[in-house]
Amino acid sequence: MPKLEIREERCKSCGLCIEFCPKGCLEITDRFNPSGYNPVGWMNTEECTGCAICARMCPDVVIEVFK
């Protein structure tokens, strides 16, 4: 099972990772980070294949992927 590590404090809530995840695994949360953004969360973990497309599309290197 792959694992994503999300550095919530670096997320700017731009949504690019969500847009490009082929499995719909990511969602914006209703938490707030110190910069005032709602960070993304790894929700649909069962579907995740660890392809790292989300991480590559993120402009802020928020997501780390382990397999």
Partner 1 sequence: MKQVFGRPESLVDVASHFCPGCHHGTIHRLVAEAIDHYGVREETIGAASVGCSVFMYDYFDIDVVESPHGRSPAVATGVKRSNPEKFVLLYQGDGDLAAIGTAEIIHAANRGEPLTVIFVNNTVYGMTGGQMAPTTMLGQRTTTSPYGREFSQDGYPIKITEMLAQLEGVAYAARVAVDTPAHLAKAKKAIFAAFEAQVEKRGMGMVEILSSCPTNWGMNAIEANKRIETEMIPYFPLGVFKERKGSDFF
Residue 16, Cα to own-chain centre: how many angstroms?
9
State yes or no: residue 16 binds ligand SF4 (CB under 6 A): yes
d(CA 8, CA 30): 12
Phi, psi of 24 (to 5 degrees): 65, 40
Q: Is 12 in the site for ligand SF4 (CB under 6 A)?
A: yes
Per-residue interface string for the shown chain with partner 1, residues 15-54, x marking contact by CB under 8 A: xx--xx--------------x-x------------x-xx-
Minimum distance of partner 1 from residue 3's CB (angstroms): 6
Tokens found for residue 19: 């847009």
Q: Answer yes or no whether residue 57 interacts with partner 1 by CB under 8 A.
A: yes
Q: What's the chain's Rg over C-alpha atoms?
A: 11
The least CB distance from residue 46 to partner 1, in Å, is: 17
